[in-house]
Amino acid sequence: MAEEITEKSLTNTAYTDDNIRTLEGLEHVRLRPGMYIGKLGDGAFADDGIYVLLKEVIDNSIDEFRMQNGNQIAITLNEKTLTIRDFGRGIPQGKMIAAVSIMNTGGKYDSKAFQKSVGLNGVGTKAVNALASEFIVKSFRDGKVKQADFSCGKLTKEYDLEPTSEANGTFVQFTPDETIFGKYTFREEFIETMLRNYSYLNTGLTITFNGRKFLSRNGLLDLLNENNTAEALYPIVHLKGEDIEIAFTHTDQYGEEYYSFVNGQHTTQGGTHQSAFREAFGKTIKEYYNKNGMELPDIRSGLVAAISVAVQEPVFESQTKIKLGSKDMGPDGPSVAKFIGDFVKKEVDNYLHRNLETADIMLKKIQDSEKERKAIAGVTKLARERAKKVSLHNKKLRDCRVHFNDTKGDAKNDSCIFITEGDSASGSITKSRDVNTQAVFSLRGKPFNSYGYTKKVVYENEEFNYLQAALNIEDGLEGLRYNKVIIATDADVDGMHIRLLLMTFFLQFFPDLVKKGHVYILQTPLFRVRNKKETRYCYSEEERVDAMNSLGANPEITRFKGLGEISPDEFKHFIGKDMRLDQITLRKEDAVADLLSFYMGRNTPERQDFIVNNLVVDEDEL
């Protein structure tokens, strides 16, 4: 019989000198990698740790460029090994080994050398070194090269200083350690997006990745041109000043969309600079038209904007630097709000006075948004009152404890909500979930096809209204309560239809939720194959065949027709650390308006022909 553990027995646990441990070198990074790079992941998502490692190395090269040293960075990926070569000054060779292996060591503490850097805490490259099975660094300076090799943060070989004909700069090569990250795969499209952003923010810098070139001449103007998924109502306004650059336009899409950056770092969760821009823009437009009655939501409806600022010694809310916390531009500088507010007030106001056609188009857009808002004012008031019923004690929403918009640090990134249909499916997820980070929202039947309707339908339709309230996105993403919005439906025709209806809803009324990477599809197994010794869950026909061949003669095969058929004990495996998610993306080349029109519009004959010509028959359904 197992010994009962009581409070008394726990208090009697020995606590001696042997329990006090000092971690040597970079051991702490390997023991607690999440403190330094956020989550780990297997490379399936753009914020997985292996991409953070690459970003940490590139940030150093970017800092060199921003200090006017070197205008090229060459990056190569060979399976799981990345190589980064810049042409800056090179790491001072006498301290090179310390700079990449001893915590809180680096040149960026000297603000004269790196006035506006993102890597001020001496952690970045050290974390990469610690979490790499192989890490090689070379410093080229004034005709000499210094090299050192590491494994898991420990020095394995130091080379003598040797002559070289190569140009000054730094070379880093690393392979993320599979004992830390598991079986991972780099996705080149995530790396390319990262590099494009670097190029927009560093005009004149040429970045090559496996032979592909990334170069921007027009900064944030290029960013908006290449990322806009809806047509701009007027030419993109692009304004630059010392330590600040902004670009913006309006579109006919709903919501607001922002791309914000600090010292070249993409702050995907915004921060003080983004909030300051939103406030300053609304106030400036109100004053320009001299209409105190203008509402800020009307002014910013359909706004797509980008802002980049350079801040001395920036403070971020987490090690992954995705949300700015700094209130001031520097130790002796103005507040972030005043600096951005003064620039926006002066430059945007001047621009509109010089470009009256743009000003007229903007005013019409604001007035159209105001008319729509007033037309549904009565509906929205009643809808908000109904939405208050969506609480912890309502079966519609079973909430979690950690939320995206009210928790600091990297832990909030784990917060998610499963949107599912039916009591049995939501019941299985509810019984299996992690109540700290996983919420469940239960749909009643199939959602309404919202294609072609105005936002009034969001408030008139009870399901959409409750869902919007649960996510807390009525006034934009700043209030978003969950980092991941996961559509969890059955893997059958009805389930696919529900997915499509929900995706239509998000793409039409909250496209920024998709573009910011918050919407996912949950993948659950189609089959369970097992014998007396082993059970395998299979997500495809190919996996089922492989499992049958591996498990031998006559294994038991179960096909899951719906989520409700999967027991809670089994379900917890599918929504735990190995949860399989497909991220929904939205890019300019996706031509989402055409896609929605074809699949969700009223072009019935064309769609019928498409279905007939592309019909795939499932033999198990016959």
Q: Tell me: the pLDDT tens digits for 344-401?
A: 999 999 999 999 999 999 999 999 999 988 888 777 777 777 666 655 456 688 889 8
Q: How many whole angstroms separate alpha carbon 620 and alpha carbon 232?
A: 48
Residue 194's closest CA among 45, 405, 40?
Answer: 45
CA distance 325 to 340: 15
- Do the domains at 27-213 and 220-375 have one common CATH topology? no
Average pLDDT over residues 50-65: 91
- Tens-place pLDDT, residues 281-334: 999 999 999 887 889 989 999 999 999 998 887 887 776 777 888 888 887 888
AA identity, residue 515: K
220-375: CATH number: 3.30.230.10
Query: CA 462 to CA 169: how far, in whole Å?
Result: 60
User: For strand 527-530 and strand 556-559, is the pairing parallel, antiparallel, or unpaired?
Assistant: antiparallel
Pair type for strands 206-209 and 72-78: parallel
Task: Evaluate if residue 576 carries a pLDDT over 50.
Answer: yes
Structure tokens that stand for 138 in this block? 């070379």
Q: What are phi and psi of 387, to 5 degrees?
A: -65, -25
- Alpha carbon separation from 263 to 50, 61, 119, 276, 330 (Å, rounded): 22, 13, 10, 16, 12
Among 273, 103, 228, 93, smallest CA distance to 171 is for 93
The structure tokens listed for 410 are 């990297």
Domain 378-524+561-614 class, CATH top level: alpha beta
Pairwise CA distance, residues 92 & 113, whole Å: 13
pLDDT digits (tens, 9 = 90+) for 124-166: 889 999 999 999 999 999 999 999 999 999 999 999 999 999 9
The Cα–Cα gap between 384 and 472 comes to 11
H-state helical runs in 6-130:
7-11, 27-31, 34-37, 49-66, 96-101, 124-130
Predicted confidence at residue 195, as pLDDT, reads 95
Given a contact cutoff of 8 angstroms between Cβ atoms, the answer to whether 592 and 507 are in contact is yes
The pLDDT value recorded for residue 329 is 85
Protein fold of 27-213: Heat Shock Protein 90 (3.30.565)
Q: Which long-range contacts link 23-28 to residues 24+ away (Cβ below 8 Å)?
A: 25/101, 25/102, 25/153, 25/154, 26/101, 26/103, 26/126, 26/127, 26/129, 26/130, 26/153, 26/154, 27/130, 27/153, 28/103
Please state the pTM of the whole predicted model: 0.79
The token duo for 540 is: 């495809």
The pLDDT > 90 percentage for the chain reads 41
Residues 88 and 61: beta-carbon distance below 8 Å: yes
Instruction: Render the burial of 364-396: b for 16+ CB within 10 Å, e for the rest.
Output: ebbeebbebbeebeebbeebeeebeebeeeeeb
Q: Rounded mean pLDDT of 91-96?
A: 91
Q: 52-83 b/e with 16+ CB inside 10 Å = b?
A: bbbbbbbbbbbbbbbeebbbbbbbeeeebbbe
Query: Distance between CA atoms of 440 and 433, rounded to whole angstroms?
Result: 9
CA distance 398 to 419: 11
User: What length is written for the chain?
Assistant: 622
Residue 383, CB-side half-sphere exposure with 13 Å CA sphere: 22
Measure the CA–CA gap between 158 and 257, rounded to whole angstroms: 49
| pLDDT higher than 90, residue 85 | yes
The per-residue pLDDT for 20 is 46
pLDDT at 602 over 50: yes
Give residue for tokens 């599918």: 574
Q: What is the per-residue pLDDT across 539-568, written as a single tens digit (0 to 9) for each?
A: 888 999 999 988 888 888 988 877 877 888
The domains of the chain are located at 27-213, 220-375, 378-524+561-614, 527-559
- Give the position of tokens 């004690």: 393
C-alpha distances in Å from residue 82, one per residue of 54, 172, 178, 184, 188:
8, 8, 14, 13, 12
Read off the pLDDT of each residue in 178-196 and give the average, rounded to a whole number. Answer: 93
